[in-house]
Amino acid sequence: MGKLALTNTPYDDVFRTLMNDCSSLIIPVINEVFGEEYTGDEEIVFSSNEHFLNRQDGQEIEKITDTTFKVIGDEIKKYHWECQSAADNSMLVRFFEYDTQIALDEGEVTEDILTVTFPHSAVLYLRCNKTTPDKLKIKMITSGGTVTYHIEAMKCQNYTLEEIFAKNLLFLLPFYIFSHEGNFKVYEQDETKLEELKLEYARIRNELEKLLQKGNINEYTKCTIIDMSNKVLEHIAQKYESVKEGVKSVMGGKVLEYEAKTIREEGREEGREEGREEGREEGIRGTVSVLKDLGIPIQTIWSKIQEEYKLSPESCKKYL
């Protein structure tokens, strides 16, 4: 079986991390882009991002979407999101391939009718200009008529900090630095301008702390936003040391990585001290307890303890 070589940018990794580990941040974005009125109480169920597409030569090519999921509320809707950091003429082709396969995955055949439901699709543009479209279109000409469907476009750079916090679009915060990308040279040479940038990020940090105190987000979400912001910054400003270090000094270091390491070591130490199976179990339960207190999603906890303690999926169940 042939397999497509895939190269993910750090931005793709940040996008997927936010989607999977901080799924509560998705709902406000969906409401903004699709005009939905979800309350946040809906259930989000992620689908496999791996799809195998059949080629004319008979080979199956593995494709990976950025994120596909269902929102389960009064009705069930499927969504497909992609993150785009640079212009790519092949994007519409990829969307059509992914959307078709996503629809086929749950297609139903009744007598002689195949019914497929296409997902609601959208792209998050990290960079945009005057020619970046507000919607993309895919037109299918069939013997039964012509069908056109839209792919919504969300342009990260078009949102101010005021709008991000007013609309609760916290998902966009790690990518906010893109709105300053064109001024990196200025910040690097002008300390006054760099201080203005740092003040913006001090405001972001302070607003996140306020949301944490109000109970609108948890500690894990706050730390993830900060950690992912730093990851984007490391890549986009790699040639601009003053910009990189200036913003990081305001946002903080790798808080999330430190917490995860501490939790892991605490769990290991408990197991060592007890020196028997009961001690190991206590260590695992302690790790799970701390992770839950931080508000880390169950799916992420499952993955962490399975990897760290070499547990089978079946063994994980009793700890969750």
Query: Are the C-beta atoms of 134 and 153 separated by less than 8 Å?
Result: yes
What does the alpha-carbon distance between residue 206 and residue 219 come to, in Å, rounded to a whole number? 14
Query: Are the C-beta atoms of 67 and 15 separated by less than 8 Å?
Result: yes
pLDDT higher than 60, residue 284: yes
Q: Single out the residue of 176, 183, 171, 174 nearest to residue 161, CA to CA.
A: 176
**What does the block give as tokens for 176?**
């906010």
Predicted local distance difference test score (pLDDT) of residue 87? 72
What does the alpha-carbon distance between residue 275 and residue 311 come to, in Å, rounded to a whole number? 18
Residue 120, φ and ψ in degrees, nearest 5: -80, 115
pLDDT confidence band for 155 (50 / 70 / 90): very high
pLDDT digits (tens, 9 = 90+) for 63-116: 444 588 999 988 999 999 999 987 777 889 889 988 998 898 888 999 889 999
What does the alpha-carbon distance between residue 164 and residue 185 come to, in Å, rounded to a whole number? 25
Percent of the chain surpassing pLDDT 90: 52
Token pair 């901080």 is at which residue?
A: 22
The mean pLDDT of 18-22, rounded to a whole number, is 88
This prediction has a pTM of 0.76
Better-predicted residue by pLDDT, 191 or 269? 191
pLDDT higher than 50, residue 261: no
The mean pLDDT of 190-211, rounded to a whole number, is 94
pLDDT digits (tens, 9 = 90+) for 39-54: 999 999 887 654 444 4
Predicted local distance difference test score (pLDDT) of residue 54? 46
What does the alpha-carbon distance between residue 278 and residue 271 come to, in Å, rounded to a whole number? 8
Sign of CA dihedral 274, 279, 280, 285: negative
What does the alpha-carbon distance between residue 182 and residue 160 come to, in Å, rounded to a whole number? 16
| Lowest mean per-residue pLDDT among 10-24, 197-211, 256-270 | 256-270
What does the alpha-carbon distance between residue 140 and residue 318 come to, in Å, rounded to a whole number? 49
pLDDT higher than 80, residue 233: yes
At 30 the three-state DSSP class reads helix
What does the alpha-carbon distance between residue 55 and residue 234 come to, in Å, rounded to a whole number? 38
